[in-house]
Amino acid sequence: MNIVLLGSGNVATQLGRAFKLAGQDIVQVWSRNIENARELADNLAAIAISDFDYLDRKADLYIISVKDEAINELAKELKVSDKLIVHTSGSTGMDMLEGSSSKFGVLYPLQTFSKSQMVDFRQIPFAIEGNTPEVASTIRAIADRLSERVVELSSEQRKALHIAAVFACNFSNHLYALSQELLKEQNLDFDLLRPLISETAAKVQSNDPHKMQTGPASRGDQETVEAHIELLKNNPEMQNLYQQLSQSIVNLQERSKG
Amino acid sequence: MNIVLLGSGNVATQLGRAFKLAGQDIVQVWSRNIENARELADNLAAIAISDFDYLDRKADLYIISVKDEAINELAKELKVSDKLIVHTSGSTGMDMLEGSSSKFGVLYPLQTFSKSQMVDFRQIPFAIEGNTPEVASTIRAIADRLSERVVELSSEQRKALHIAAVFACNFSNHLYALSQELLKEQNLDFDLLRPLISETAAKVQSNDPHKMQTGPASRGDQETVEAHIELLKNNPEMQNLYQQLSQSIVNLQERSKG
């Protein structure tokens, strides 16, 4: 399979590597910035382009992996009316590709990517969608080459999955970052929290998270909750988050009972 | 070393097991509820008591592992004026044990415990404190038998560490729980998020979390942030948290630049 990769960010980089490792040919890497295109293309033995005049219009698959707001415009520039075009965005509807080709869809890998950190694609869930059942089957077959966990979701489901991922991943990581700041004020090393973070994530791998909830709010220890809020008085941002999240823990417990 | 364990909750259970495995004798388990005391004592080949008249006052170490607000009162009931008494609470000052003995301190294991899940104590950080340098040394030597990561912290530092742990562990777990709720509304399985949760926790094991931050807020993708907030309109609690946490990510980025 010949693939053109449009984009050079974290997702494009990781997907390009994964397809290459799976034995697929990345023929071109496009980026608006030719230097960025070159950096990734060199790693994939592909040709770097930044001008659509040079686009290979005979490839089997065009993967658009750019900022959400650029997807629609970019798709129109491809002018490959009968070739398969997919985007990789969680929060963008499939309809953003409408009119760009007769075959289009979505190939959304649910993972937090950085350019340098290698990830095991076999375990990454892929949410796929196609504009026809046949296209969906084709995209599924493509995703199957990378991952054991391919699911077909509607755009609405995928958007909910993306929001859920923001909570479970982006916001969790931010809580780690805030806790590191708090430790720094007391000259304490973030390393103290690392085993706890690992264990917290490990516990929900085989359990429902609401059943694993521990801490002062969940055990109704109002004295400790209030002591913590008082101790955070010089940090209104964390104080506010502490209150809201503690209340939300109590609310969820009520919902689980009801 | 002969140990009396006061309490029968998650921390008492896990600490009791760990000391037992390290070759120490748990001679008694006290709980206000004798059934709870028995359940744990049976596992530790110890005697269960609920009445202080039967307390063994010749043990080497008394570990108070009960609710924070009960620590002070319980310590006074021990009447072991020259024996070492420690509590295991992150958010309670060492001074809560003042007057209960000439030797007292803190043995705080920083981990999220449940009764059933086994944990590797060697990697758990222990924050210790003693009322004299000699007592601190004794407590350190005791903690060293369980863990490779023993640090001496002041009560103020330990309280900050506990708050940081609430953010990094309890609140993160709650975000997992909220994301599961959101997925359920779309008939999606929480299993889809598990690899992402693992990877998010794994990334900060060797990196600073603020450098690992990904997602719409951190890349300034205001369009996606607003789309998510709109999609959460039927869930005011998550909508509010989404806004606050996204703003907090932006604020932290500003602080990191400055």
pLDDT at site B148: 95
Cα dihedral A116→A117→A118→A122 (10° resolution): -130
Residue B225 has pLDDT above 80, yes or no: yes
pLDDT at site A113: 77
Question: A149: which 2 tokens?
Answer: 């966990």
Best mutation target among B13, B65, B181, B197 (most A Cβ atoms within 10 Å) is B197
Q: How confident is the model at residue B7 (pLDDT cuts 50, 70, 90)?
A: very high
Chain-centroid distance of CA A93 in Å reads 15
**Would the CB atoms of A195 and B166 count as touching at under 8 Å?**
no
B39-66 burial, b if ≥16 CB within 10 A, otherwise e? bbbeebebbbbbeeeebbeebebbbbbb
**Would the CB atoms of B183 and A173 count as touching at under 8 Å?**
no
pLDDT in tens, B112-128: 877 777 788 999 999 99
Query: Whole-angstrom Cα distance, residue A195 to residue B148?
Result: 12
The domains located in chain B, with CATH, are 2-153 (3.40.50.720), 159-257 (1.10.1040.20)
Amino acid at B207: N
Q: How far does the CA of residue A201 sit from the closest CA of chain B (Å)?
A: 6
pLDDT at site A118: 76
pLDDT at site A81: 87
Cα dihedral B95→B99→B100→B106 (10° resolution): 20
Question: A27: which 2 tokens?
Answer: 């023929």
**Whole-number percent of chain A with pLDDT over 70:** 99
**Would the CB atoms of A10 and B214 count as touching at under 8 Å?**
yes
Q: What is the mean pLDDT of residues A169-198?
A: 97
Contacts of B214 in chain A (CB under 8 A): 10, 112-114, 169-170, 173
**Residue A58 or B257, more confident:** A58
Whether A153 contacts B215, CB under 8 Å: no
Is the minimum CB–CB distance between B196 and chain A shorter than 8 Å?
Answer: yes
For every residue of chain B, DSSP letters joined together read -EEEEE--SHHHHHHHHHHHHTT-EEEEEE-SSHHHHHHHHHHHT-EEES-GGG--TT-SEEEE-S-HHHHHHHHHHH--TTSEEEE--SSS-GGGGTTS-SEEEEEEE-S---SSS---GGGS-EEEEESSHHHHHHHHHHHHTT-S-EEE--HHHHHHHHHHHIIIIIIHHHHHHHHHHHHHHTT--GGGGHHHHHHHHHHTTSS-HHHH--STTTTT-HHHHHHHHHHTTT-HHHHHHHHHHHHHHHHHHHHHH-
**Would the CB atoms of A198 and B194 count as touching at under 8 Å?**
no
Chain-centroid distance of CA A5 in Å reads 17
pLDDT at site B220: 92
pLDDT in tens, B171-202: 999 999 999 999 999 999 999 999 999 999 99
- Closest CB from A112, A114, A174 relative to B196: A112
**ipTM score for this prediction:** 0.91
pLDDT in tens, A126-157: 999 999 999 999 999 999 999 999 999 999 99
Residue A43 has pLDDT above 80, yes or no: yes
pLDDT at site A95: 96
pTM (predicted TM-score)? 0.91
pLDDT at site B9: 92
pLDDT at site A190: 98
Query: Whole-angstrom Cα distance, residue B44 to residue B243?
Result: 48
pLDDT in tens, B68-89: 889 999 999 999 989 999 999 9
Residues 38-57 of A with CB under 8 A from B: none
Angle between helical axes of B194-203 and A172-185 (0-180°, round to 10) = 30
Q: How confident is the model at residue A195 (pLDDT cuts 50, 70, 90)?
A: very high
Q: What is the mean pLDDT of residues A29-47?
A: 97
Q: How confident is the model at residue A201 (pLDDT cuts 50, 70, 90)?
A: very high
Is the minimum CB–CB distance between B250 and chain A shorter than 8 Å?
Answer: no
Q: What is the mean pLDDT of chain A?
A: 95
Is the minimum CB–CB distance between A205 and chain B shorter than 8 Å?
Answer: yes
Whether A188 contacts B156, CB under 8 Å: no
A176 phi and psi, to 5 degrees?
-60, -45
pLDDT at site A56: 97
pLDDT in tens, A231-255: 999 999 999 999 999 999 999 999 9
Best mutation target among A183, A200, A226, A239 (most B Cβ atoms within 10 Å) is A200
pLDDT in tens, A72-122: 999 999 999 899 999 999 999 999 999 999 999 999 999 887 777 777 899
Q: What is the mean pLDDT of residues B48-54?
A: 97
